[in-house]
């Protein structure tokens, strides 16, 4: 009886060591990418909605201000989802019998609310307050992305804790003048950095990284 292992076993044995190392690394990388992918964060994912509402159309083309529909954004934690009423303000004059708007008219007729799928959804243990962010000069687009370029609504940012913290640690680079907050077409001035420092002072912008700022 000869040797237990063929000569090739040596190569195999050594190779297997490196393969194992490689697999471990690859696995780690895969998980990392997955965790940051839209699959997990939902960034950039379009959800089916009862009505194919186009922010692109309403904001970019018609130029309706965010606050026309999201009325409570400056006063409350929730920006507010417009009641059917708001839609009907216009749509009882224009597109009055467009097929796509039937659910809206139905809702108005029977007083049954529309049921949307939430696009920007934070976990329930996170308490986000729109009003304070707006008051400090954080623009809608900073977190929601260029909604004026969204024919169908999708989540414009990862909305992970890390992403929140990046800004909470150093808010200044994300600031605007308060009055420009809802302006999707805002053009930053040349001396942006310098101005942002002024705005930060003016609006008492502080870095807030205490747990209880968001978790209660």
Instruction: Enumerate residues 173-202 that contact other proteins by CB under 8 A.
Output: none
Nearest-CA neighbor of 118 among 184, 58, 42, 65? 42
Of 27 and 189, nearer to other proteins (C-beta) is 27
| Nearest-approach distance from CB 73 to other proteins, in angstroms | 10
Nearest-CA neighbor of 145 among 131, 134, 133, 159? 159
How far apart CA 114 and CA 50 sit, in angstroms, is 7
| Nearest-approach distance from CB 112 to other proteins, in angstroms | 7
| Contact positions with other proteins (CB under 8 A) in 4-43 | 4-10, 13-14, 17, 28, 31-32, 34-36, 39-42
Of 152 and 161, nearer to other proteins (C-beta) is 161
| Nearest-approach distance from CB 190 to other proteins, in angstroms | 28
Of 11 and 192, nearer to other proteins (C-beta) is 11
* Interface with other proteins, residue 160, by CB under 8 A: yes
| Contact positions with other proteins (CB under 8 A) in 60-119 | 72, 75-78, 80-85, 107-108, 111-118
| Nearest-approach distance from CB 99 to other proteins, in angstroms | 21
How far apart CA 171 and CA 174 sit, in angstroms, is 6
How far apart CA 149 and CA 166 sit, in angstroms, is 25
| Contact positions with other proteins (CB under 8 A) in 134-153 | 135
| Nearest-approach distance from CB 132 to other proteins, in angstroms | 5
Nearest-CA neighbor of 158 among 111, 106, 120? 120
How many residues lie near other proteins (CB under 8 A)? 71
Contact 156, 144 (CB under 8 A): yes
| Nearest-approach distance from CB 59 to other proteins, in angstroms | 18
DSSP secondary structure string for all residues of 33-89: HHHHSHHHH-BTPBPP-SS---HIIIIIIS---HHHHSGGGGTSSS--PPPHHHHHH
């Amino acid at each position: 009886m000869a040797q237990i292992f063929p000569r090739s076993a040596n190569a195999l044995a050594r190779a297997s060591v490196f393969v194992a190392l490689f697999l471990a690394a690859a696995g780690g990388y895969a998980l990392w990418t997955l965790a940051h992918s839209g699959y997990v964060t939902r960034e950039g994912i379009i959800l089916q909605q009862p009505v194919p509402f186009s922010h692109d159309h309403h904001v970019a083309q018609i130029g309706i201000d965010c606050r026309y529909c999201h009325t409570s954004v400056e006063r409350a934690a929730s920006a507010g989802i417009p009641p059917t009423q708001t839609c009907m303000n216009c749509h009882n004059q224009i597109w009055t019998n467009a097929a796509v708007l039937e659910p809206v008219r139905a809702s108005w007729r029977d007083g049954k609310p529309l049921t949307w799928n939430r696009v920007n959804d934070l976990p329930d243990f996170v308490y986000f307050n729109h009003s304070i962010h707006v008051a400090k000069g954080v623009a809608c687009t900073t977190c929601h992305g260029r909604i004026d370029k969204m024919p169908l609504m999708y989540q414009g940012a990862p909305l992970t804790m890390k992403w929140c913290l990046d800004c909470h640690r150093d808010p200044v680079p994300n600031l605007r003048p308060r009055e420009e907050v809802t302006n999707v077409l805002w053009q930053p001035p040349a001396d942006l950095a310098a101005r942002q420092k002024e705005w930060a002072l003016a609006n008492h912008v502080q870095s807030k990284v205490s747990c209880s700022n968001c978790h209660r």
